[in-house]
Structure 1
Amino acid sequence: MLLQVVPSPSSAAPLPLKRGVGLHEWLNWSPLKKDGSYRWPPYRSVGEWLSGGRPLADWPKGDPFQKIRLLGFDFVRLTVDPGPLLDSNGPRRQQALKLLSDAVERLTRAGLKVVFNLHGVSQVPAYDMTILYGGANSQGVFRYRAMVKDVAAMLVKHGADKVAFEPYNEPAYYPCDANGTDDWQRIMAATVADIRSINRALTIVVTGACGGSITGLTNLDPKFDDENVYYSFHMYEPHSFTHQKADWENGFFSGFPWPAKTGTPANVIEGLRAHMLAEGLSPLQQEANITRLKPEIDDYFKEDWSAATMQARIEEAVTWADRHGIAPHRLFMGEFGVMRMSTDGRSGAYDADRLSYLQTLRSIAEKQGIPWSVWEYSNPYGMSVIEPKGPAVPDQRMLEALGLSAPQ
C-alpha cells in the first residue's frame, strides 16, 4: 500500500516535549535462544521487563506507564533494539513492527508522548551498530536505512501529535574534528530524506556523530532542516564525574565532588581509602587503586568543572543552532545522568553531588527552553529514577532535583 506524503504546513512545529525519561530495559534487550539468535516473536513483555531485575511483587499494582506520567514526565524516550528488525523481512518484520506498535499504543494510552529511538546493542554481533560503520555507501547503511523507512511507516499511524522518531543513538563516527570524514553527515541527511519520503509531519530527532555529543552536533550541517526536526545531544560531561566506575579487579572509583571546587584531591583519596578499608582491601591493593586513579583525580580538579563550565558547553549547542536559524527549543538533551554511589563505595557519586549536578544541568537546559530526557527510568546499574533495590519506588530526592515530585 502506498503511503500518502503529507505536506508540512507553514505553522508546523515538532512534537512538543518538555521533561522525559529513558525507558531502556523493556525493548532494548530482546531475549535470545540458546544458539544466540533472537527468540521469536522478539522483545520482552511488560511482565518480563518488570521482573527482570527484581521480583514482580516489588512493583506497585496498576499500569506502570501511567505511574511514569504521574511522576510529571510528559514523554518517554523508548529505546528499541533494531536487531530483530534487521534480522527479518516481509511478514516476519511486520510481526516485529506490530509488537512495537502495540508498545507505542500502550504508552500513548497512558498519556505519554513517545520518542521512539532505535538503540543498537551488541548482544547479537551480526546486528550491532558496526553495521553502520562501513561508510555512507556501505551495504550495512543501506540495509539499516531501509529498515528505518519501515519503522517510520509504522509510527505515522500513531499520529505526529504523539510520537517522534530518533533513528540513531550515539553514532561512533570519529574523530570529532576536521580529520573526520563526511560519512555521518551524508548518512543523517539521507535518513532524514528517507523518513520524509514517508511523511513530512513526523518529528525526527537528528543526532551528530562523536557519540551523540555536543561536539558531534556542532560538526553537523543541518541543510536538511525543516520545522519538524529536533537536534539531539547527550550530556555526560565531565565523564569522570558522571561515570565513576572501576573496570579493573578490586577497583574503586568514586567520590568525585560536584562542583569540583567543593572538594580536593586529598578529600577524594581519603574517601576512597575509607571505602577500601571497609571492604577489606590490603594496603598494597589500596595504593594500587590510588596510583591508578591519581592522574584522573588531578585532571578533574584542574578542569574545575562547575555550573559555569556546563553553561558554556550548552551554549556551544545554542550558538550552533542560532547560526543555522534553529530555535533553542528545537535542541533536545536526549540523555544525562550520574551514577549513584554503590553500597560498597566502589563506584558512583555521593548523593549530594549527584543531585546538585542533575539540578544544575536540568536548570540550564530549561532556561534555554531545551527539552530533556534523563537516563533512565529503572535499572540496577546506578542511573535510575526508580530505586534500584527493594520496593520499586521513585528516588524522591532525584525527582526533586529534576523539578518533579511523586504523588503522595
Structure 2
Amino acid sequence: MKEERFTRLTQGINLSHWFAQAPLTHKNFQTRVTAQDIQRIKKMGFRHVRLPIDPNVLFNEKQPEKLNQENLEYLDRALDTILAEKLGVIVDLHPQARFKQRLYRDVNFVNNVAKFWKSLAQHLSTRDPELVFLEVLNEPDVKDPKVWYKIQPQLLAAMRSGAPFHTLIASSNLRVGRNWDNIAALQLLSPVKDPNVVYNFHFYTPRPFVSQGATWGWNMLRYFHNVPYPSNPKLVAAILPQIKNETARKRLREYGKQRWNAQKLEELISSAAAWAKEHQVRLTCNEFGVYRRVAPPDDRNTWIRDVRSLLEKYNIGWSMWDYNHGFGVMKRVNGQSVPDLGTLQALFA
C-alpha cells in the first residue's frame, strides 16, 4: 500500500449511533449526522471517518447476496456526503453480540456472511479506493481467539473478491481467554497473504480511567468517579472517600499502585508496533477514547494526547471514539453541541 493511502487512515473520528448502536430507522439515517457535521469534521482537521454499520441495515440471512435496497440508498447518500468533503471513510461491519456469537458457532452463518460481504464489497468497489476502506468486523469477542482467526480469512477473501483494489481492515480478537487484552490477542494473529490488508486493534486502557462512570460492561465502573490520570497512590487516595463500594475502592487502590502514565501506555502500544514490524504489515487503532460523563476533563485530554502521540510515534493509524456521543470530541454547552477545544488540541497539537 502506498504511503498516501495509509496516511488517510490517520487522524480519524468515529460516527457512532448513525447506522449502528441506535434505532435502525430512516429518520435516524437522515438526521443523526448531517452535511454540516461532515463539513465541521473536515474543518476540525480529521482525514477520515469510521462509519459503523449494523449488518441488520442491509443483511437478509435468507438471501445474503441481496442487499436491502431501501436502506442501501441511505448508506449511499451518507457516503456521498462524506466523500464530497474528500474525507476517507472506513465502512465498518458493526454487529450486535448475538450476530457475532452466531458467527463463531455456525458454519452456515459464516458462509452467508461471506456472501453478504462479497455483495457489499462489490457495491462499494465503484468508490475511490484511495478514500474508501472496508473493515471486516468490529471487536470480535470469543474466549479463544483462534476461533475468530479461522473465520476471518474466509470473510476477507469474500471481500477481496468483491473489491479487488480496496484496502481491507482485519480485526484482532478483543481478548485472550478471560482477559480483555486486544493487543495480546493481536499478537496471536497470523496475517493473511494479501498485501493490501491493514490490521486493527482498539485501545481502552486502563479501564478504571477510560470507562469510569459507565453503566455497561464491568459492574464496578459505575462506582468510579473523578478517577485521575496519570495515577499514583496519593492521587487515588484523594477520591476514595467519594467511592461507596468497598470492592470498587480496592480496585482503585490497585489502579493507583500501578502508576499509569505515558510510559506505561507506551509499553503496550510499542508491543503492538513490534508485532506489525515482525510481520511487515500496517497497523491501525480505530477506536480509543475516554467516557466523558465523570472523567476529569484535563486528565481525559492528557490521556487522549498521550495515546494519540504514541500511535503517531509508532506509525499506527488512528480513529478516536467518537464524534458526538458519550466519548465525543463534541460536548454539550447550554443545550448545544460544540467542539471541545481541549480535546481537539489533544488530538492535533
TM-score normalised by the chain length of structure 2: 0.88
1:333 offset after TM fit, Å?
0.9
Counterparts of 1:7-26 in structure 2 under 5 Å? 14=6, 16-26=8-18
Superposed CA deviations along residues 156-197 of structure 1, whole A, max 9, x for unmatched, are 1112011000020000121xxxxx363211211112211222
Q: How do residues 272-287 of structure 1 correspond to structure 2 at under 5 angstroms?
A: 272=242
1:213-252 matches, cutoff 5 A = 213-226=182-195, 228-245=196-213, 247=215, 252=223
Q: Given the superposition, is the C-alpha separation of residues 316 and 80 from structure 1 closer, same or farther in structure 2, using an over 3 Å criterion? A: same
CA distance in 1, matches of 2:198, 2:27: 27
The residue that corresponds to 1:210 in the other structure is: 174
* SS in structure 2 of the partner of residue 254 of structure 1: coil
Change (3 A) 1:91 1:13: closer
Question: 1:201 Cα shift?
Answer: 1.4
Matched position secondary structure for 1:133:
helix
Q: Which residue of 1 aligns with 2:116?
A: 147
Amino acid across the alignment from 1:394: P
Question: Quick one: structure 1 residues 133 and 298, their matched pair in 2 at CA, closer, same or farther if it must change by over 3 Å?
Answer: same
Q: Does the CA-based 8 Å contact 2:91-2:135 persist in structure 1?
A: yes
Name the structure 2 match of 1:166: 135
CA offsets 1:273-300 (integer angstroms, 9 cap, x no match): 6xxxxxxxxxxxxxxx241312211221
Which amino acid letter does the alignment assign opposite residue 182 of structure 2?
S
Unaligned stretches of 5+ in structure 1?
A: 1-8, 33-38, 51-58, 175-179, 274-288, 343-347
1:265 corresponds to which residue?
236
The residue aligned with 1:299 is 254
Contact persistence 1:15–1:162 (CA under 8 A): no
Q: CA RMSD in A?
A: 2.7
Q: Write out aligned runs for 1:7-406 (5 A).
A: 14=6, 16-29=8-21, 31=23, 44-47=28-31, 49=32, 63-87=36-60, 89=63, 93-121=68-96, 128-134=99-105, 138-174=107-143, 180=144, 182-211=146-175, 213-226=182-195, 228-245=196-213, 247=215, 252-261=223-232, 263-270=234-241, 272=242, 289-326=244-281, 330-340=282-292, 342=293, 348-379=294-325, 381=326, 383-388=327-332, 390-403=335-348
Decide whether the 8 Å contact of 1:14 with 1:203 is kept in 2: no
Asked if the contact 1:14–1:229 (Cα under 8 Å) also holds between the matched residues in 2, the reply is no
Aligned-partner SS, 1:219? coil
Partners of 2:119 and 2:312 lie apart in 1 by 34
Is the contact between residue 22 and residue 377 of structure 1 (CA under 8 Å) also seen in structure 2?
A: yes
CA-to-aligned-CA distance 1:117-159 (integer Å, 9 cap, x gap)? 011136xx6xx32221216xx2222222211111111111112
- Cα deviation 1:365-396 (Å, max 9, x = unaligned): 111221210000001x3x11111452121011
Separation in 2 of the partners of 1:187 and 1:172? 12
Pair 108,262 (structure 1): closer, same or farther in 2 beyond 3 Å: farther
Q: Which structure has more helix as a fraction of its residues?
A: 2
Please state how far the C-alpha of 1:237 moved relative to its aligned partner. Answer: 0.7
Q: CA deviation at 1:25?
A: 1.5
Number of positions where the alignment pairs a residue of Structure 1 with one of Structure 2: 338
How big is the shift at 1:217?
A: 1.3
Instruction: Tell me if structure 2 keeps the 8 A contact 1:31–1:43.
Output: no
3-state DSSP class of the match of 1:264?
Answer: helix
Structure 2 residue ranges without an equivalent (≥5) = 176-180
